[in-house]
Structure 1
Amino acid sequence: MKTLFVSYRVTDLDRSLDFYTALGYVELGRVDLGAGARLVILNFPGEPAASLELVHRPGDGPVDVGSGFDHLAIQVDILATTLETLTEAGLEPGPAQHPGGPHGPKTSWLTDPDGYRIELVEWPPGHADSITAADFA
C-alpha cells in the first residue's frame, strides 16, 4: 500500500485554486460531481502523479477545519527562495524557523484560504527526501 494524495474540502474553489497555483501546484484535471460539486486534482511540476485534491461541495456550506486536522508538509529545495517567490505571488508565509536546531531542517508556515496550515520544509544537506526510520534511530 501507499498514500496516493491528500484531499481538502474547500469553501471557494476559485480562491483556493488561486492560492494553490501561487504555491506552485498545477491542475491535472477536474471531475464534475453534479449539483455544482467538483473535484480538482493537482500536483507539483515534476511529480509523477496527483498529490492534492480540492473538493468543492457548495451545498455542504463553508469549511470548518476544526481541531482534528493539523497540517500538510511540503518539501522545498531552498526555503529562502521559496519564501521570496510566495511573497511576490501575494501569499503570506511566516519567517524561516529552525525547529531541530542549526543543523536540522528549516521550516516556514502559511495558511490557505480555508485555514488549512501548510509547513514548508527544507531538509539539511544529505538528508533523505522525507522523514524515514533513520530519523528515529
Structure 2
Amino acid sequence: MRILHTMLRVGDLDRSIDFYTSVLGMRLLRRKDYPGGRFTLAFVGYQDESEGAVLELTHNWDTPTYDLGTGYGHIALQVENAAQACDRVREKGGKVTREAGPMKHGTTVIAFVEDPDGYKIEFIER
C-alpha cells in the first residue's frame, strides 16, 4: 500500500494550478472535466503519480469558496532552504504566514505559506 493523493477543494482551479505549478514548482499531471457532475479534477505533483503522492485539486463549478474547518492541518514539503523558499513564494505574490526559523521546542527549520484558498503549506528544511 501507498498514499496516492491528497484532495483539496478549491474555488478557482486555474488560480490554484498556477500557484502549485508557478509558485511551488509542481507539474500539472492531468486535468479532466466532469460536466455531468459539474466538477473538474486536476492532479499536480513533483513526480508522476506512479512514483509518488500528488495533490488532487477538485473544483466544483458552483462553489466559489470553502470554509477550511478546524480539522485540516497542512501539506509539508521538504526544501533545501526554507528562507529562500519563502522568498520565492513572496516574489511570486504568495503569502508567507510564518517566516523560516526553528520550530517551537525543537531545532528543525520550518516556515509556512498559504495557497490561494488559504490551505497551509509547511516548508521543512532538509
TM-score when normalising by structure 2: 0.83
Identity %: 36
**Bigger Rg over Cα:** 1
The aligned counterpart of 2:32 is 31
Q: Which amino acid aligns with 1:111?
A: E
Figure out how many residues of one structure are paired with residues of the other and give that number: 122
- 1:32 to partner: Cα distance: 1.5
Unaligned ranges ≥5, structure 2 = none
8 Å Cα contact 1:42/1:50 also seen in 2: no
Unaligned ranges ≥5, structure 1 = 124-137
The aligned counterpart of 1:9 is 9
8 Å Cα contact 1:41/1:50 also seen in 2: no
CA RMSD of aligned residues (A): 2.2
Please give the alpha-carbon distance, in whole angstroms, between the structure 2 residues aligned to 1:61 and 1:37.
Answer: 12
Q: Which structure ranks higher in relative contact order (CA pairs < 8 Å, sequence separation ≥ 6)?
A: 2
- 1:46 to partner: Cα distance: 8.1
- 1:59 to partner: Cα distance: 2.5
After TM superposition, the runs of 4+ consecutive aligned structure 1 residues lying more than 2 A away are 45-50, 59-62
The aligned counterpart of 2:88 is 85
Query: What do the CA deviations read for 1:2-60 (whole angstroms, capped 9, x no partner)?
Result: 11111101011111112212121110111221154111111125883451110001234
More strand per residue: 1 or 2? 2
8 Å Cα contact 2:82/2:123 also seen in 1: yes
TM-score when normalising by structure 1: 0.77
